Amino acid sequence: MNYRHSFHAGNSADVVKHSLLVALVRALQQKQSALTLIDTHAGCGLYDLGSEEARRTGESAQGVLRAFADPNPLLNDYRAAVQAVNVGLEPHLYPGSPRVLAQLLRPQDFLILNEKHPEDVQALRRVMRDTSAAVHERDAYELWLAMLPPRTARGVVVVDPPYEQPDERARLTATLAAAYRKWAHGVTVIWFPLKDRATHWRWKEQLRKLGIPKLLQVEHWLYDGDQPGIYNGAGLYIVNPPYALTQALPPLLEALRAVLAPEGHRGEITADWLSD
Protein backbone atom coordinates (compact mmCIF):
# COMPACT_ATOMS: atom_id res chain seq x y z
CA MET A 1 0.00 0.00 0.00
CA ASN A 2 1.48 3.35 -1.09
CA TYR A 3 0.46 6.17 1.23
CA ARG A 4 1.99 9.41 -0.11
CA HIS A 5 0.81 12.04 2.31
CA SER A 6 0.18 14.87 -0.16
CA PHE A 7 -2.78 12.86 -1.50
CA HIS A 8 -4.26 12.22 1.94
CA ALA A 9 -3.49 15.32 4.04
CA GLY A 10 -6.25 16.19 6.46
CA ASN A 11 -8.14 12.93 6.03
CA SER A 12 -9.75 10.95 8.86
CA ALA A 13 -6.45 9.20 9.67
CA ASP A 14 -4.74 12.57 10.18
CA VAL A 15 -7.52 13.77 12.45
CA VAL A 16 -7.13 10.73 14.71
CA LYS A 17 -3.32 10.68 14.56
CA HIS A 18 -2.82 14.35 15.32
CA SER A 19 -5.56 14.50 17.95
CA LEU A 20 -3.87 11.67 19.83
CA LEU A 21 -0.38 13.03 19.24
CA VAL A 22 -1.31 16.39 20.77
CA ALA A 23 -2.98 14.65 23.72
CA LEU A 24 0.05 12.39 24.26
CA VAL A 25 2.62 15.20 24.28
CA ARG A 26 0.41 17.33 26.53
CA ALA A 27 0.15 14.41 28.95
CA LEU A 28 3.94 14.02 29.05
CA GLN A 29 4.36 17.75 29.57
CA GLN A 30 2.51 17.56 32.86
CA LYS A 31 6.05 16.95 34.14
CA GLN A 32 8.55 19.78 33.68
CA SER A 33 11.52 17.66 32.60
CA ALA A 34 12.61 18.03 28.97
CA LEU A 35 11.38 15.93 26.07
CA THR A 36 13.05 14.93 22.82
CA LEU A 37 10.53 14.49 20.01
CA ILE A 38 11.73 12.49 16.98
CA ASP A 39 9.76 12.13 13.73
CA THR A 40 11.35 9.46 11.52
CA HIS A 41 9.19 9.96 8.39
CA ALA A 42 8.50 13.68 8.59
CA GLY A 43 7.30 14.34 5.04
CA CYS A 44 6.93 17.90 3.78
CA GLY A 45 5.63 19.33 7.05
CA LEU A 46 2.82 21.40 5.52
CA TYR A 47 0.23 20.54 2.86
CA ASP A 48 -2.01 22.61 0.61
CA LEU A 49 -5.56 21.24 0.75
CA GLY A 50 -6.22 22.93 -2.58
CA SER A 51 -3.35 21.21 -4.39
CA GLU A 52 -3.95 18.90 -7.34
CA GLU A 53 -2.98 15.87 -5.23
CA ALA A 54 -5.34 16.75 -2.37
CA ARG A 55 -8.21 17.65 -4.70
CA ARG A 56 -7.79 14.37 -6.57
CA THR A 57 -8.81 12.39 -3.48
CA GLY A 58 -10.91 15.02 -1.68
CA GLU A 59 -10.27 13.19 1.59
CA SER A 60 -10.00 16.32 3.74
CA ALA A 61 -13.77 16.82 3.32
CA GLN A 62 -14.32 13.65 5.35
CA GLY A 63 -11.58 14.51 7.87
CA VAL A 64 -10.37 17.93 8.97
CA LEU A 65 -13.36 19.78 7.51
CA ARG A 66 -15.72 17.57 9.49
CA ALA A 67 -13.70 18.18 12.64
CA PHE A 68 -13.92 21.94 12.10
CA ALA A 69 -17.69 21.76 11.60
CA ASP A 70 -18.22 19.78 14.81
CA PRO A 71 -18.72 21.70 18.08
CA ASN A 72 -17.38 19.01 20.43
CA PRO A 73 -14.89 20.77 22.78
CA LEU A 74 -12.80 17.59 23.04
CA LEU A 75 -11.53 18.40 19.54
CA ASN A 76 -10.50 21.96 20.45
CA ASP A 77 -6.79 21.16 20.85
CA TYR A 78 -6.73 19.45 17.47
CA ARG A 79 -8.54 22.31 15.77
CA ALA A 80 -6.15 24.81 17.38
CA ALA A 81 -3.14 22.92 15.97
CA VAL A 82 -4.59 23.14 12.46
CA GLN A 83 -5.78 26.74 12.86
CA ALA A 84 -2.26 27.81 13.86
CA VAL A 85 -1.07 27.46 10.25
CA ASN A 86 -4.17 29.04 8.69
CA VAL A 87 -5.81 32.43 8.27
CA GLY A 88 -9.60 32.44 8.33
CA LEU A 89 -12.17 30.07 9.74
CA GLU A 90 -11.85 27.20 7.24
CA PRO A 91 -8.45 25.49 6.88
CA HIS A 92 -6.73 25.62 3.50
CA LEU A 93 -3.38 24.37 4.79
CA TYR A 94 -2.79 21.23 6.80
CA PRO A 95 0.11 20.81 9.25
CA GLY A 96 1.97 17.52 9.12
CA SER A 97 3.31 16.01 12.34
CA PRO A 98 6.46 18.22 12.24
CA ARG A 99 4.43 21.43 12.44
CA VAL A 100 2.10 19.95 15.04
CA LEU A 101 5.04 18.89 17.23
CA ALA A 102 6.81 22.23 16.77
CA GLN A 103 3.77 24.02 18.18
CA LEU A 104 3.97 21.91 21.34
CA LEU A 105 7.64 22.55 22.13
CA ARG A 106 8.58 24.19 25.41
CA PRO A 107 11.94 25.95 25.78
CA GLN A 108 13.47 22.82 27.32
CA ASP A 109 12.25 20.45 24.58
CA PHE A 110 13.99 19.29 21.37
CA LEU A 111 12.56 18.33 17.98
CA ILE A 112 14.42 16.06 15.53
CA LEU A 113 12.93 15.48 12.08
CA ASN A 114 13.95 13.09 9.33
CA GLU A 115 12.88 12.69 5.71
CA LYS A 116 14.62 10.57 3.07
CA HIS A 117 13.01 11.82 -0.15
CA PRO A 118 15.18 14.67 -1.51
CA GLU A 119 12.31 16.87 -2.73
CA ASP A 120 10.32 16.38 0.45
CA VAL A 121 13.26 17.16 2.73
CA GLN A 122 13.89 20.42 0.86
CA ALA A 123 10.24 21.37 1.38
CA LEU A 124 10.51 20.31 5.03
CA ARG A 125 13.53 22.55 5.63
CA ARG A 126 11.66 25.53 4.15
CA VAL A 127 8.58 24.85 6.25
CA MET A 128 10.55 24.40 9.49
CA ARG A 129 13.07 27.24 9.11
CA ASP A 130 11.22 29.39 11.68
CA THR A 131 11.55 26.64 14.32
CA SER A 132 14.38 25.12 16.34
CA ALA A 133 13.92 21.70 14.74
CA ALA A 134 16.93 19.74 13.49
CA VAL A 135 16.23 18.23 10.05
CA HIS A 136 18.01 15.07 8.81
CA GLU A 137 18.01 13.31 5.43
CA ARG A 138 18.65 9.68 6.33
CA ASP A 139 17.13 6.25 6.19
CA ALA A 140 14.30 6.41 8.71
CA TYR A 141 14.99 3.11 10.43
CA GLU A 142 18.73 3.79 10.70
CA LEU A 143 18.03 7.21 12.24
CA TRP A 144 15.47 5.75 14.64
CA LEU A 145 18.07 3.49 16.24
CA ALA A 146 20.92 6.01 15.97
CA MET A 147 19.01 8.60 18.02
CA LEU A 148 18.35 6.26 20.94
CA PRO A 149 18.61 6.88 23.76
CA PRO A 150 18.03 10.61 23.24
CA ARG A 151 19.87 13.34 25.09
CA THR A 152 16.93 13.85 27.44
CA ALA A 153 15.67 11.17 29.79
CA ARG A 154 12.17 11.32 28.30
CA GLY A 155 10.97 11.50 24.72
CA VAL A 156 8.72 10.34 21.92
CA VAL A 157 9.56 8.69 18.60
CA VAL A 158 6.88 9.07 15.91
CA VAL A 159 7.09 6.50 13.08
CA ASP A 160 4.77 7.28 10.17
CA PRO A 161 5.93 5.44 7.01
CA PRO A 162 4.10 5.46 3.64
CA TYR A 163 3.94 1.64 3.58
CA GLU A 164 5.09 1.65 -0.05
CA GLN A 165 7.64 -1.17 0.39
CA PRO A 166 6.44 -4.79 0.66
CA ASP A 167 8.72 -5.42 3.65
CA GLU A 168 7.72 -2.23 5.52
CA ARG A 169 5.92 -3.97 8.36
CA ALA A 170 8.68 -6.55 8.79
CA ARG A 171 11.36 -3.88 8.91
CA LEU A 172 9.30 -1.78 11.29
CA THR A 173 8.77 -4.75 13.61
CA ALA A 174 12.48 -5.60 13.69
CA THR A 175 13.47 -1.99 14.31
CA LEU A 176 10.92 -1.61 17.09
CA ALA A 177 12.36 -4.68 18.81
CA ALA A 178 15.88 -3.24 18.59
CA ALA A 179 14.72 0.21 19.68
CA TYR A 180 12.95 -1.23 22.71
CA ARG A 181 16.12 -3.01 23.77
CA LYS A 182 18.02 0.31 23.62
CA TRP A 183 15.32 2.49 25.23
CA ALA A 184 12.77 0.37 27.06
CA HIS A 185 11.14 3.27 28.94
CA GLY A 186 10.72 5.53 25.89
CA VAL A 187 7.43 6.36 24.21
CA THR A 188 7.03 5.23 20.58
CA VAL A 189 4.07 6.01 18.31
CA ILE A 190 3.62 3.94 15.15
CA TRP A 191 0.96 4.93 12.61
CA PHE A 192 -0.54 2.35 10.26
CA PRO A 193 -3.26 2.24 7.60
CA LEU A 194 -5.98 -0.40 7.77
CA LYS A 195 -6.84 -2.08 4.48
CA ASP A 196 -8.31 -5.37 5.69
CA ARG A 197 -8.66 -7.12 9.00
CA ALA A 198 -6.76 -10.29 8.01
CA THR A 199 -3.57 -8.44 7.04
CA HIS A 200 -3.74 -6.33 10.15
CA TRP A 201 -4.35 -9.34 12.41
CA ARG A 202 -1.24 -11.10 11.07
CA TRP A 203 0.95 -8.06 11.79
CA LYS A 204 -0.63 -7.63 15.21
CA GLU A 205 0.36 -11.17 16.10
CA GLN A 206 3.97 -10.48 15.07
CA LEU A 207 4.05 -7.40 17.31
CA ARG A 208 2.47 -9.31 20.17
CA LYS A 209 5.36 -11.80 20.05
CA LEU A 210 7.84 -8.98 20.80
CA GLY A 211 6.67 -9.17 24.41
CA ILE A 212 6.55 -5.40 24.98
CA PRO A 213 4.53 -5.12 28.21
CA LYS A 214 2.95 -1.69 27.63
CA LEU A 215 1.90 -1.62 23.98
CA LEU A 216 -1.43 0.10 23.34
CA GLN A 217 -3.24 -0.41 20.04
CA VAL A 218 -5.72 2.16 18.75
CA GLU A 219 -7.74 1.01 15.74
CA HIS A 220 -10.14 3.21 13.79
CA TRP A 221 -12.33 1.29 11.36
CA LEU A 222 -14.40 3.70 9.28
CA TYR A 223 -16.92 1.19 7.99
CA ASP A 224 -19.03 -1.46 9.69
CA GLY A 225 -17.40 -4.10 7.46
CA ASP A 226 -14.32 -4.25 5.23
CA GLN A 227 -14.70 -2.43 1.92
CA PRO A 228 -12.57 -4.48 -0.52
CA GLY A 229 -9.65 -2.75 -2.19
CA ILE A 230 -9.97 0.60 -0.42
CA TYR A 231 -8.69 2.36 2.66
CA ASN A 232 -10.78 1.18 5.63
CA GLY A 233 -9.23 3.21 8.42
CA ALA A 234 -6.01 3.66 10.35
CA GLY A 235 -4.57 3.40 13.82
CA LEU A 236 -1.66 3.82 16.17
CA TYR A 237 0.51 1.57 18.25
CA ILE A 238 1.79 3.42 21.32
CA VAL A 239 4.61 1.99 23.44
CA ASN A 240 4.57 3.21 27.06
CA PRO A 241 1.66 5.66 26.77
CA PRO A 242 1.48 8.00 29.78
CA TYR A 243 -1.26 7.31 32.30
CA ALA A 244 -2.83 10.73 31.74
CA LEU A 245 -3.34 9.85 28.07
CA THR A 246 -4.92 6.45 28.69
CA GLN A 247 -7.36 8.05 31.15
CA ALA A 248 -8.36 10.73 28.64
CA LEU A 249 -8.73 8.38 25.67
CA PRO A 250 -12.30 6.95 25.98
CA PRO A 251 -14.23 10.22 25.54
CA LEU A 252 -11.76 11.54 22.96
CA LEU A 253 -12.00 8.37 20.87
CA GLU A 254 -15.78 8.45 20.99
CA ALA A 255 -15.76 12.08 19.84
CA LEU A 256 -13.49 11.13 16.93
CA ARG A 257 -15.63 8.13 15.96
CA ALA A 258 -18.79 10.23 15.94
CA VAL A 259 -17.41 13.05 13.81
CA LEU A 260 -15.62 10.81 11.29
CA ALA A 261 -18.17 8.02 10.72
CA PRO A 262 -19.11 7.87 7.00
CA GLU A 263 -22.77 8.29 6.12
CA GLY A 264 -24.65 5.06 6.75
CA HIS A 265 -21.93 3.63 9.02
CA ARG A 266 -21.35 3.86 12.74
CA GLY A 267 -17.67 2.98 12.51
CA GLU A 268 -15.53 1.73 15.37
CA ILE A 269 -12.56 3.09 17.29
CA THR A 270 -11.00 1.09 20.09
CA ALA A 271 -7.99 1.20 22.40
CA ASP A 272 -6.69 -2.08 23.86
CA TRP A 273 -3.46 -3.40 25.32
CA LEU A 274 -1.58 -5.78 23.08
CA SER A 275 -0.12 -8.42 25.35
CA ASP A 276 0.93 -12.04 25.09
Give the CATH number of the domain where residue 91 resides: 3.40.50.150
3-state secondary structure of 273: strand
Q: Are 168 and 161 in contact (CB under 8 A)?
A: yes
Separation between Cα atoms, residue 16 and residue 191, nearest integer Å = 10
Query: How many whole angstroms separate alpha carbon 250 and alpha carbon 260?
Result: 16
List phi, psi (to 5°) of 132. -95, 10
Q: What's this model's pTM, rounded to 2 decimal places?
A: 0.95
User: Mean pLDDT throughout 234-250?
Assistant: 97
260 — pLDDT class (breaks 50, 70, 90): very high
Considering its fold, how many domains does the chain have in total? 1
Question: What is the four-CA torsion angle of 157, 167, 46, 50, rounded to 10 degrees?
Answer: -150
**Amino acid identity, residue 54?**
A
Q: How far, rounded to the nearest angstrom, does the alpha carbon of residue 45 sit from its chain's CA centroid?
A: 13
Active site residue 130: no
Consecutive H or E run containing 266: none
**Active-site pick, 160, 167, 196, 224:** 160
173/21 Cα distance (integer angstroms): 21
Could you give the residue ranges of the DSSP H alpha helices within the chain? 12-28, 52-57, 64-69, 76-83, 97-104, 118-127, 140-146, 168-182, 197-208, 243-260
Tell how many helices (H) and how many strands (E) occur in the chain: 10, 10
Mean pLDDT of the chain: 94
pLDDT value, residue 229:
63
Contact criterion met (CB below 8 Å) for 248 and 218: no
Given a cut of 90, whether residue 54 has pLDDT beyond it is: no
**Model confidence at 239: pLDDT above 90:** yes
What's the pLDDT tens digit per position in 23-33? 999 999 999 99
pLDDT surpassing 60 at residue 3:
no
CA–CA distance, 276 with 94 (Å, rounded to integer)? 38
| Cβ atoms 92, 49 nearer than 8 A | yes
- pLDDT at position 49 is 95
Q: Which domain holds residue 229?
A: 5-273
pLDDT tens digits along 99-142: 999 999 999 999 999 999 999 999 999 999 999 999 999 999 99
Read off the pLDDT band of 1 (50, 70, 90): very low
